[in-house]
Amino acid sequence: MQFYLRVPYRPIKLRIFYSYSVMLVDSMVDKLEEIRKIFGKRFLDRKEDLIPYMKDASYFEGNIPMAAVIAEKTEELSKLMRICSREKIQVVMRAGGSALTGSPVPYKDSILVSMSAMNQILETHVEDGYVVAEPGVRLDDLNLYLSRLGFFYPPDPASSMAATVGGSISTNAGGLRACTYGTTKEWILGLEMVLPGGQIVEVGGRTLKRTKGYDITALMAGNEGTLAIITKAYLKVWPIPEEIGRILAYFKDVRNMGRSISELKGRGIIPYIAEFMDKLSLETIKKAKNIDFPEGSNYLLMIDIASTHESIDRMLDDARKIIESQGPISIKITRDREEMARMYEARKGLYSSSLGLRDTKDEYIEIGDLVVPPSQLPDSLEEIQDSIGEYNLKAVLFGHIGDGNIHANILVDLNNRDHVARVEKFQMAIAKIALKHDGSVSAEHGIGLEKKELFLEELKERNSMDLLPLMKGIKKAFDPENIMNRGKIFD
């Protein structure tokens, strides 16, 4: 008989997600043996093999799951789910483990299913505009493969090196290119899935159009592993633009930066990417990557324009004139690929370079992920900056300005109760700022464990609490035994 003792409760609420202790009684040992037979050496139950599956990229400490399996085939997952639904065993899927909300963090009484080994690109049909991929394919690997054919898959979270097809569908990831191409949900044509009862089904498919009843494919975008296991994805792909050029505009004033993006979009110039970074972000990047910025800059607006060989210079010039009219302190156009790649990587690496701001090693980064209509950005950003001062916190502001997505990397000392409480209040305060400006409390990272309270706040604010039983009803229809990633999104 094996015992899993409850880990002592740490004083700080919310950061640690311990589930009740699990005693592996003999009947459970028998069930696990049944599962071991399906996966053989890919069934893991030694503590040292399970520790890497405790955490995602958030600050939740997580639990050591009862066991983990490394999936290679859909049929194995079907057999697993038949056992788990029969025996009411909890299941948590994990792929790249890069989620920022605790969504793939397991309970002690769950089986963790690693999807990373299902990582093959199965079919390529660029002439029909799609590829078929297994869920464990990493986004950078998919794009490297497609780039050789002159195509790309647009969803581009800054974690694309680790994030996978299945994980990014399940969180409906956005990223840097979302201002033109939208989030992941726009790029899924269809899915193969294993339902909690073990049935293998296909939704959507290989065609760009189809209307047949409820759109279950769309429902899976952002389901956070609470409904079914994605085992295959039909993904739309797009030709790589002929030319991309970049404008780097440095501003003293947040309003002028915000107006630049509204003006560009209002005049029909939709950037390929449009990112902003505040002064602390720029200082962080300078320290980590040795990329300097002009004196007096409080904000950088980084705009990429995609076009043809013939028109790229004209498009960049048109965009430059519009931005110049908003009075930046410095503006620069570049088409130097190396320089552009350096800055792109620096922006994508802002999470890790923000760690350089820590005063002690006990400080973690908690990420705010808000969205407002782009025209509301100047007011929202100003109010968020004021809140950082009011709560006396250290936070880096940056984000995907083209679609109104603001991130705040907030330094939080998990051993300081007062600090943690202030960060929680600040998260609620900035969520309310987003709601006041017609936005949302979660733009692209999902809800997981972290944003459940903020999610409820949004439902209340929009007078839509009746959606909660509806969503729970959908969950129950898929997962009557409540075995799929229990307690994520809502309790």
Q: Please identify, among the stretches 86-94, 250-258, 308-316, 467-475, the one whose residues bind ligand FAD according to the rule CB under 6 A.
A: 86-94
Closest CA to 426 of 414, 439, 415, 412: 412
Place of tokens 């808000």: 370
433-452 positions binding ligand FAD, by CB under 6 A: 444-445
Give min distance, CB of 347 to ligand FAD, in A.
Answer: 9
Nearer to ligand FAD, 303 or 316 (CB): 303
Binding mask 454-483 for ligand FAD (x = CB under 6 A): ------------------------------
Give min distance, CB of 307 to ligand FAD, in A.
Answer: 24
Nearer to ligand FAD, 320 or 451 (CB): 451
409 binds ligand FAD (CB under 6 A): no
Rounded CA separation 314/308 (Å): 10
225 binds ligand FAD (CB under 6 A): yes
CA 141, 147, 153, 157 torsion: positive or negative?
Answer: positive
Region for 312 from its dihedrals, namely left if φ exceeds 0, alpha if ψ lies in -120 to 50, beta otherwise? alpha
3-state secondary structure of 412: strand
Residue 354 CB-density burial (10 A; 0-12 exposed, 13-18 middle, 19+ buried): buried
Taking CA 62 as the corner, what is the angle to CA 61 and CA 64, rounded to the nearest 5 degrees? 125
Q: Which amino acid is at 7?
A: V
Select the residue interacting with ligand FAD from 17, 35, 76, 96 (CB under 6 A): 96
Nearer to ligand FAD, 94 or 320 (CB): 94
Rounded CA separation 193/404 (Å): 33
99 binds ligand FAD (CB under 6 A): yes
Select the residue interacting with ligand FAD from 85, 164, 297, 380 (CB under 6 A): 164
Q: Please identify, among the stretches 10-18, 224-232, 315-323, 377-385, the one whose residues bind ligand FAD according to the rule CB under 6 A.
A: 224-232
Q: Side-chain half-sphere of 238: how many Cα atoms within 13 Å?
A: 13
Q: Please identify, among the stretches 119-127, 168-176, 280-288, 416-424, the one whose residues bind ligand FAD according to the rule CB under 6 A.
A: 168-176
CA 211, 213, 216, 218 torsion: positive or negative?
Answer: positive
307-346 positions binding ligand FAD, by CB under 6 A: none
Select the residue interacting with ligand FAD from 65, 106, 135, 402 (CB under 6 A): 135
Q: Side-chain half-sphere of 231: how many Cα atoms within 13 Å?
A: 23
Inter-residue long-range contacts of 201-210, CB under 8 Å, 24+ positions, other chains counted: 204/234, 205/234, 206/125, 206/128, 206/130, 206/234, 208/129, 208/236
115-134 positions binding ligand FAD, by CB under 6 A: 115
Binding mask 351-370 for ligand FAD (x = CB under 6 A): x-------------------
3-state secondary structure of 175: strand
Place of tokens 């079914």: 228
3-state secondary structure of 135: coil
229 binds ligand FAD (CB under 6 A): yes
3-state secondary structure of 398: strand
Place of tokens 């483990």: 97
Nearer to ligand FAD, 142 or 414 (CB): 142
Q: Please identify, among the stretches 163-171, 263-271, 353-361, 387-395, the one whose residues bind ligand FAD according to the rule CB under 6 A.
A: 163-171
Q: Please identify, among the stretches 46-54, 97-105, 303-311, 329-337, the one whose residues bind ligand FAD according to the rule CB under 6 A.
A: 97-105
Q: Tokens in use for 288? A: 């980590």
221 binds ligand FAD (CB under 6 A): no
Give min distance, CB of 448 to ligand FAD, in A.
Answer: 7
Rounded CA separation 316/45 (Å): 56
Q: Please identify, among the stretches 30-38, 157-165, 281-289, 452-460, the one whose residues bind ligand FAD according to the rule CB under 6 A.
A: 157-165
Rounded CA separation 279/51 (Å): 38
63 binds ligand FAD (CB under 6 A): no
Q: Tokens in use for 270? A: 């939709």
Q: Please answer whether residues 361 and 400 qualify as being in contact, where contact means their C-beta atoms are separated by less than 8 angstroms.
A: no
Cβ-closest position to ligand FAD: 167
Give min distance, CB of 52 to ligand FAD, in A.
Answer: 12
Nearer to ligand FAD, 355 or 456 (CB): 355
284 binds ligand FAD (CB under 6 A): no
171 binds ligand FAD (CB under 6 A): yes
Binding site for ligand FAD (CB under 6 A): 56-57, 92-100, 103-104, 115, 135, 157-159, 162-164, 166-168, 170-171, 173-175, 224-225, 229-230, 351, 444-445, 485
